[in-house]
Amino acid sequence: MKSQKTQSAINTYLKETGGWVASQLEACTRCGICAEACHFYQALGNPEYAPIWKLEPLRRAYEQRFTVAGKLKLALGLEKKLADSDLEHWSKIVYEACTVCNKCAHVCPMGIQLGPLIHGVRAGMAAAGVVPADLAEATEKQKTVGSPLGVTDEMWRERIDWITDEWEAQIPVDKAGAESLVVFTSIELMKFPDNLAAVARILNRAGENWTVSSTGREVVNFGYFEADEELTRLFMYRVFKAAEELGVKRIIISECGHAYDAFRWAAPNMMKVPKGVEIAHISEYIHQLWKTGRIKLKEGAFDGETITFHDSCKIQRRGGIIKQPRELLRVLAPRSFKEMTPNKEQSLCCGGGGGVISIKEADANRYAVFEMKIEQLQEVQARAVCMVCSNCRLQFVDSVGHFNLPVKVHGLAELVSKALV
């Protein structure tokens, strides 16, 4: 049965289907190689987790509207129109068994950008309101309260004060004329306050003229997880508006992959962005501070137990910040830093990104994926793992606890701040 909600999903698909989407949908040969790139398929073996299968709603909408073959298939009864039940079925697949990590695109012989296209499928789901309840709830909280974790303005202020006291790290708030606006995630604020303190300490040591904003205070974008275009814009708008009001030169995205992807690559194509404001990820900025001699690090500060680096899909594979964290780690732990395999562009996703970790029903999926990560960690006998995304870190901390592993989980900023000289 096709209701109004399916129609809004179809409308979204047709609206987003320009040549970019269409040519890639046309290029698929149904070879199925992408399945083996998907950590959810590899871990769970469900054929429906094959990345190309996740595009079915978008493909059907496109073919049935725009192609002769699609119309023929429809007329001959080989294929049906999208129905409510299809949306509900695929909603679970695209939100609970995909982190939009885009490894599949690097494996596809045709080079189809499966990640962004799956984001497109999510957009239809969001338009139809067929989004997992937990994800929808967090998005709603971000819309109304300003944070997916429900952090109110007051709580935010208290928390910042507490971190300032506890870690003795000065955090300038709403400082007009600052050069850099640093925007954190609620995850860091509530669960990894040490990371926030670490960033503050590094920037203060470097003599950076920086600030946080009480209005543009949340960098995570649950609208982007859902792929709700309007909310994605709204959540970024809050930050851009704060940046304009404060007159900063750059926005530094803290340790959040999806946020970096949204601000760095998506924003200019979906909304008005403040002119001349640079978008930087905290890990590349810290690297730059070190490279230009504004901070100095104690060499070998973390030598001892084997430490490895986990590549975050949105910051490394899709963000290009691949060399920088490694250069820093080679200073921090020149003897103990070991690479997992595969790594860099080909790295294995943690399993918690893309909103997956916020969906309770997807817990089994992400733990199953994490078992593959455990294998990777064990291959290099890592006792510690470092990363530059709080979402990955949350997945690591939670899963390391779940599986009771003797592995310490670090944010890169945290390590750098401890090695400052």
Partner 1 sequence: MNWTNILNFSRGPLLHVAMIIFVAGLSYRLVRVLLLGWARDRAKNKGSKLWGVIVNYLKGLFVLPFIPWVRRTFRHNELTFIAGGLFHLSLFLVLVFGTAHILVWKSLWGFGWKGLPTPILAFFSAAGIISMIVLLINRLTHPVLKMLTRFPVWINWLVVFLPMITGFIMARHLWFRYEVIFSLHLISVSLLLIWVPFGRISHFLFYFFSKTIHGAQAGKRAVTP
Q: 293 is written with which tokens?
A: 């001699």
Q: Which of 87, 112, 239, 331 binds partner 1 (CB under 8 A)?
A: 112
39 touching partner 1, by CB under 8 A: no
Task: Please say whether the beta carbons of 116 and 4 come within 8 A.
Answer: no
Retrieve residue 346's tokens: 């080909």
Residue from 3, 15, 32, 291 touching partner 1 (CB under 8 A): that is: 32
Site for partner 1 in 59-88 (CB under 8 A): 66-69, 72-73, 78-79
Provide the minimum distance between the beta carbon of 61 and partner 1 in the complex, in angstroms, as a whole number: 13
Q: How far is CA 205 from CA 198, 201, 287, in A?
A: 11, 6, 14
DSSP letters for 93-105: HHHHS-----HHH
- Asked whether 181 and 172 are in contact (CB, 8 A), the reply is no
Strand ranges for 103-249 from DSSP E: 180-183, 210-211
Nearest-approach distance from CB 284 to partner 1, in angstroms: 10
Can you tell me whether residue 222 is helix, strand or coil?
helix
Q: Using CB under 8 A, pick the residue from 4, 269, 292, 404 that binds partner 1.
A: 269
First to last CA, the chain: 66
227 binds partner 1 (CB under 8 A): no
Q: Which is nearer to partner 1, 212 or 321 (by Cβ)?
A: 321
As measured in angstroms, the least distance from the Cβ of 312 to partner 1 is: 13
Asked if 400 contacts 409 with a C-beta cutoff of 8 angstroms, the reply is yes
Query: Binding to partner 1 by residue 35, rule CB under 8 A?
Result: yes
Positions of E strands within 76-202: 180-183
Q: Which stretch binds partner 1 (CB under 8 A): 44-52, 130-138, 144-152, 356-364?
A: 44-52
Find the shortest distance in angstroms from Cβ 55 to partner 1. Answer: 11
CB of 158 to partner 1, least distance (A): 36
Q: Is 109 in the site for partner 1 (CB under 8 A)?
A: yes
* AA identity, residue 40: F
Stretch that binds partner 1, among 14-22, 245-253, 290-298, 326-334 (CB under 8 A): 14-22
Judged by CB under 8 A, how many residues of this single chain contact partner 1?
Answer: 61
Report 317-376 residues binding partner 1 (CB under 8 A). 317-320, 322, 341-342, 344-346
User: What's at 26, amino acid-wise?
Assistant: E
**Residue 176 phi, psi (nearest 5):** -65, 145
Of 84-92, 310-318, 375-383, 391-399: span binding partner 1 (CB under 8 A): 310-318
Within 13 Å and on the Cβ side, how many CA atoms surround 416?
35
Buried b (16+ CB within 10 A) or exposed e, 65-87: eeeeebeebbeeeebeebebebb
Nearer to partner 1, 304 or 320 (CB): 320
- Is residue 47 at the binding interface for partner 1, with CB under 8 A as the rule? yes
CB 119 within 8 A of CB 49: no
Describe the crossing of helices 4-16 and 56-66 by its angle, rounded to 10 degrees.
80
**What is the rounded CA–CA span in Å between residue 156 and residue 186?**
9
Q: Is 266 in the site for partner 1 (CB under 8 A)?
A: yes
- 316 is a site residue for partner 1 (CB under 8 A): yes
Q: Does 147 participate in binding partner 1 (rule CB under 8 A)? A: no
Which residues partner with 183 through β-bridges?
A: 253
113 binds partner 1 (CB under 8 A): yes
Q: Which is nearer to partner 1, 318 or 410 (CB)?
A: 318
Among 87, 105, 196, 387, binds partner 1 (CB under 8 A): 105
Contacts of 1 (CB under 8 A, 6+ apart): 83, 84, 85
* Span from 24-32, 174-182, 201-209, 216-224 in contact with partner 1 (CB under 8 A): 24-32
Asked if 28 interacts with partner 1 (CB under 8 A), we say yes
Q: How far is CA 99 from the centre of its chain?
A: 8
Check if the beta carbon of residue 409 is closer than 8 Å to that of residue 380.
no
Using CB under 8 A as the binding rule, whether residue 22 contacts partner 1 is answered as yes
Q: How far is the CB of 300 from partner 1 (least distance, A)?
A: 29
- Provide the binding-site residues for partner 1, judged by CB under 8 A: 17-24, 26-33, 35-37, 41-42, 45, 47-48, 50, 52-53, 66-69, 72-73, 78-79, 105-113, 264-269, 316-320, 322, 341-342, 344-346
